[in-house]
Structure 1
Amino acid sequence: MAHRPHAYGLTGEVQRKIKGKYSEELEQGARLWIEAVLGIELVPEADQNTPLGERAFQEALRNGVILCKLMNTIKPGSIRKINESTMAFKMMENIENFLKAAEAYGCKKIDLFQVVDLYERQNMTQVVNGVYALGRLTQKNGFQGPALGPKEADYNPRNFDEETMKAGQTVIGLQAGSNRGASQSGINFGKTRSILD
């Protein structure tokens, strides 16, 4: 991993805020889901009831192999080549391939993470959120394996008849405010203007 100096000022404040949002409870849910789908342990001999922690979770996913295998289990053949090499650019290529396959599967780009978020542990909160986004989408797309998080909602259009639509146009919502009791009487600011002869 590249050495990054200690951040100060606004950058340091942003990094501390991102690290403060990390939830080991959500990480544990993502970890158990990945292990259940793949049938392997992310960290061999680790306690299933104890979260791995940000650093160990990142190390388990850092090379991208687990993520690629996860995507291929969910949608077979979505990632053709998984690099087993320990060279940095090959590991980052695995992560990038996972992200492209997840986006092609239907995940929104905003729900996913960037390569450096995982590879350099810049934003592990977003990595966990990306795993949850994929887990939610698998339920919607008919994956028969374990589920993670609530199922995403389907499109549900509303069809109202003409009478109901016209009735809604006559109602003034409270968001528009009210003019009851409003007048300009008694409004004086500062000294009044007087014209003297």
Structure 2
Amino acid sequence: MSSNRAAKSGLALEAQNKLNSKYNEELAHEVLEWVQRYSGEQFSTDGSMDNVYEVLSDGYVLGRMITNLGSKKVPANMLSKRQTMAFKKMDLISKFIEGAKEMGVKADDLFQTVDLTDKANLGQVVTCLDSLGRKLGTSKVKEAAKNERQFTQEQLEAGKNIISLQYGSNQGASQAGQNFGRQRHIVEPDQKQ
């Protein structure tokens, strides 16, 4: 799908390079191993961007995995064979995203369909799959537990006496002595050479 687009240049290329620099091949490898286990499909678990795109871009593996994990978002007829038409691939990927959201993946961790179909942000695809694994408790990394704290009334009152730096400070550098419109003297005026 991405082969029909012009090559990126200028700011678009810089933005794409920045996204690509955040891509983690080790995490992608671990995620692909996890996907392979829960999808029931066999494929290369190499963490390179090209392999991740090759394995996941048609949505079939993602659809199989989310169905095996218990989601009802992907109809069985969509998984009867691999899709060849672009809009059907995109539909299958969007059904996976709906299923992941249903299973508790936060909106910040989800990806957009074009992130995968156009290789726009494969790092976000890996992040979404990793987050799904954490939510289900099947990933090596466990979801953080809630850490609520209880403060006494005395501690809460003591906190009211602290002035946050967000309110500003009158210490350190200031704008005092600025001269708008006048010449800036490097040497004091009375010390002319």
Q: TM-score, normalised by structure 2?
A: 0.76
Give the whole-Å Cα distance in 2 for the aligned partners of 1:189 and 1:94.
Answer: 62
In the alignment, which residue of structure 2 is the partner of 1:72?
A: 67
Deviations 1:128-149 (A, max 9, x none): 111111111112xxxxxx3243
| Residue 153 (structure 1) aligned with residue 153 (structure 2) | no
CA RMSD of superposed structures (Å): 2.7
- AA in 1 matched with 2:85: M
- State the shift of 1:111 in Å: 0.9
* Structure 1 segment 23-172 matched on structure 2, within 5 A: 23-43=24-44, 51-81=46-76, 82-83=78-79, 84=81, 85-139=83-137, 146-154=138-146, 156-172=147-163
- Using the TM superposition, name which of 123-132 and 72-81 deviates more: 72-81
Q: What is the total number of aligned residue pairs between the two structures? A: 173
Q: Is the 8 A contact 2:72 2:99 kept in 1?
A: no
Residues 53 and 178 of structure 1: is their aligned pair in 2 closer, same or farther, counting only changes over 3 Å? closer
Unaligned runs of 5+ in 1: 140-145, 192-197
- AA in 1 matched with 2:48: G
Q: Is the 8 A contact 1:62 1:91 kept in 2?
A: yes
Q: Is the 8 A contact 1:137 1:152 kept in 2?
A: no
Give the whole-Å Cα distance in 2 for the aligned partners of 1:114 and 1:26.
Answer: 19
Give the whole-Å Cα distance in 2 for the aligned partners of 1:60 and 1:147.
Answer: 20
Percent pairwise identity: 32
Q: TM-score, normalised by structure 1?
A: 0.74
